[in-house]
């Protein structure tokens, strides 16, 4: 059988392409599960806010977010072979996002409740959008689409802001997560 | 130089199937039929025939199960299949290197 360089090159290119797609599919599957989990937490946060009294309610987001970060790290850990460096990077990314967000939201400016809700949600979606530049169009599409919807709710929802922003963010994450798992 | 191309893996669809099943990100339990269909761009019948071919050579094993009442076929590379794919890739790299 004759086998030339061009043929070998084409086969290696086909292998690289399949390996790249398997890797992307795995990233999308894990990211999809994580997005759906954060979508569920949006509803949990809303329920907790409705049920808890006074000041406890104002800080309840801290516990829900801490739960989300812990679950995200657990899902990343389960997703592949043990890789402490990857988990440390994920934890550092969360620390940077929360640190940067806290600096703006509480240090430099004093946002009201609605502005805070929009700011934190869109800050993390901005991270999603940036991730899209490396990990695929899906992240970019989710980041930009949900950011647009959340701003629309902020501008037009009026008294229905809190339930609507919960539904848009929660359902948005869940639908996008399902889409990523199937992509 | 390694002997030559693996005649079973050399076929484009089978090459893609083996590349997917031995990729670093592939689950230990393998990939299901629908994922392989997406990755290879093959039709159901065509992909099924190629997977049978690989299974007869001992390169993959298939497992059929029902998940949520729907049949699901999972395909996994065997150690022999991984070794054969490794040899095939080594052969390709030698060709490129001008060996």
List C-alpha distances in Å: B10 to A18, B81, B87, B89.
15, 13, 12, 10
List C-alpha distances in Å: A130 to A134, A140, A141, A180, B43.
8, 7, 10, 16, 35
| Cα separation, A51 vs A176, whole angstroms | 28
Per-residue pLDDT of chain A in tens (183 residues, 90 and over written 9):
567 888 899 999 999 999 998 888 888 888 889 999 999 999 998 888 888 777 777 778 888 999 999 999 999 888 777 778 888 988 998 999 899 888 888 888 877 788 888 998 899 889 888 888 887 787 888 889 999 999 999 999 888 888 999 999 999 889 888 988 877
Q: What is the pLDDT of residue B67?
A: 78
Reduce the DSSP state of residue A93 to 3 states and report it.
Answer: helix
User: For chain B, which ranges sit under pLDDT 70?
Assistant: 1-2, 25, 27, 99
A15–B98 C-beta distance less than 8 A: no
Contact of A4 with chain B, judged by CB distance below 8 Å, is answered with yes
> Which of chain A's residues have a Cβ under 8 Å away from the Cβ of B14?
none
Instruction: Identify from B75, B92, B98 which residue to disrupt to test chain A contact, counting A C-beta atoms within 10 A and taking the largest count.
Output: B92
Q: What is the pLDDT of residue A107?
A: 81
Q: Which residues contact B50 (CB under 8 A, 6 or more apart)?
A: B11, B13, B14, B17, B42
List the single residue in B4, B19, B96 with the smallest CB-CB distance to A15: B19
b (16+ CB within 10 A) / e for A103-134:
eebeeeeeeeeeebbbbbbbbbbebbbebbee
List the single residue in B26, B27, B92 with the smallest CB-CB distance to A11: B92
Quote the radius of gyration of chain A (alpha carbons, Å): 20
Q: What is the pLDDT of residue B1?
A: 52
Q: Which of B44, B43, B1, B37 is nearest to B17 (CA)?
A: B37
Q: What is the pLDDT of residue A1?
A: 54
Q: Which run of H or E residues covers position B73?
A: strand B70-77
Q: Which two tokens stand for residue A126?
A: 């901005």
| Cα separation, A127 vs B98, whole angstroms | 45
SS3 of A29-86: the string is: HHHHHHHHHHHHHHHHHHHHHHHCCHHHHHHHHHHHHHHHHHHHHHHHHHCCCCCHHH
User: Do the Cβ atoms of B72 and B65 come closer than 8 Å?
Assistant: yes
Contact of A148 with chain B, judged by CB distance below 8 Å, is answered with no
Reduce the DSSP state of residue A166 to 3 states and report it.
Answer: helix
Chains A, B: CB contacts within 8 A come to: 62
Q: Which two tokens stand for residue A18?
A: 């399949």
List the single residue in B24, B40, B95 with the smallest CB-CB distance to A5: B95
Instruction: Identify from B5, B20, B23 which residue to disrupt to test chain A contact, counting A C-beta atoms within 10 A and taking the largest count.
Output: B23
| Cα separation, A30 vs A160, whole angstroms | 33
User: Do the Cβ atoms of A130 and A96 come closer than 8 Å?
Assistant: no
| Cα separation, B10 vs B5, whole angstroms | 6
Q: Is the pTM of this model over 0.95?
A: no
User: Do the Cβ atoms of A95 and A87 come closer than 8 Å?
Assistant: no
Question: pLDDT, tens digit, for every residue of B18-37?
Answer: 999 998 867 677 888 988 99
| Cα separation, A55 vs A66, whole angstroms | 18
């Amino acid at each position: 059988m004759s086998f030339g360089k061009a043929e070998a090159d084409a086969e290696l290119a086909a292998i690289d392409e399949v390996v790249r797609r398997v890797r992307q599919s795995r990233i999308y599957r894990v990211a999809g599960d994580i997005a759906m989990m954060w979508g569920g937490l949006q509803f949990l946060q809303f329920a907790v806010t409705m049920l808890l009294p006074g000041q406890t309610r104002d800080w309840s987001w801290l516990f829900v977010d801490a739960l989300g970060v812990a679950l995200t790290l657990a899902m990343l850990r389960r997703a592949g072979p043990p890789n402490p460096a990857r988990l440390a990077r994920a934890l550092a990314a969360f620390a940077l996002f929360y640190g940067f967000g806290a600096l703006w939201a509480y240090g430099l400016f004093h946002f009201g409740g609605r502005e805070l809700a929009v700011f934190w949600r869109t800050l993390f979606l901005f991270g999603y959008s940036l991730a899209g530049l490396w990990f695929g169009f899906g992240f970019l599409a989710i980041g930009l689409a949900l950011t647009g919807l959340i701003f629309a709710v902020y501008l037009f929802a009026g008294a229905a802001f809190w339930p609507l922003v919960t539904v848009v963010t929660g359902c948005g994450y869940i639908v996008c997560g399902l889409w990523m798992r199937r992509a | 130089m390694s002997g030559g191309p693996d005649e079973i893996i050399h076929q484009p669809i089978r090459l893609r199937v083996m590349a997917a099943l031995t990729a670093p990100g592939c689950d230990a339990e393998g990939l299901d039929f629908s994922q392989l269909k997406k990755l290879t761009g093959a039709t159901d019948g065509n992909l099924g025939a190629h997977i049978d071919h690989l299974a007869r050579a001992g390169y993959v094993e298939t497992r059929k199960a029902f998940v949520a009442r729907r049949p699901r076929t999972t395909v996994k590379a065997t150690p022999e299949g991984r070794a054969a794919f490794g040899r095939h890739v080594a052969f390709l790299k030698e060709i490129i290197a001008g060996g």
